[in-house]
Amino acid sequence: MTIRFHRLGKSDEDRTGMSRRMFLMTTTMAGITTNAMLSGAAFAGSSALNPAQSASVLQMVQDIYPHPGLLNLSHYEAIVASVAKTADEDESSAKTLTDGLALLDEKAQELFGSTYAEIEDADAREGLLRHFQGEGFFQSVRWTAYFGIYNNKDIWPLFGYQGSSVEYGGYIDRGFSDITFVPEGPTLEERMDDVQN
């Protein structure tokens, strides 16, 4: 059984050269952050999750929030470390997570003859996850990943988000016209000439 979903976005062949802004963002965040390195150590030492379960959670996080051109593996591992820490500290959460991962692998074996993390087709993994998206273990991993990515100030520059602008005068003076995907319009002088003629 193969499940396919339409993927939006430009292919690598359609992308043109890297803009200055993108260059600065990617070079600024190219290394592994200290936070991610510290979390990586916790990722390896979970008592609630075995290595196979940790690999499944890692694959889940990458499949739920795929950002292959932006996020490093270490960013995803930091999220897995957070999930593992919660499981280590709360027996009920650990049971919900491990039981859910067991069901996920059971369904993967039934449909694909392998564990969830070993399925190579990303669309098939996505379809399998959709089957479990209402389950508690899925929602727990999903929300941990959501906040671990989109509420992480270390990751914001990778997405081009500069953070709050209120204290800097608002977005009119800070980032409002930084976009590169809309063609540049006429200047104020050109518009005034059109009005006066």
Q: pLDDT per position in the chain (197 positions), as tens? A: 444 444 444 444 444 444 544 444 443 443 333 333 334 444 456 788 899 999 999 999 999 999 988 999 999 999 999 999 999 999 999 999 999 999 999 999 999 999 999 999 999 999 999 999 999 999 999 999 999 999 999 999 998 887 888 887 777 766 666 777 777 788 888 888 888 87
pTM confidence score: 0.65
Which domain range does residue 135 map to? 19-161
Whether 180 is in a domain gets the answer: no
d(C-alpha 81, C-alpha 53), whole Å: 12
- Residue 178 is assigned to a structural domain of this protein: no
Among the listed residues 161, 172, 180, 129, the one whose alpha carbon sits nearest the alpha carbon of residue 15? 180
Q: How far apart are CA 101 and CA 91, in angstroms?
A: 15
* Domain assignment of residue 173, yes or no: no
Structural domain includes residue 31: yes
Residue 187 located in a structural domain: no
Encode burial over 3-13: b for 16+ CB neighbours within 10 A, e otherwise.
eeeeeeeeeee
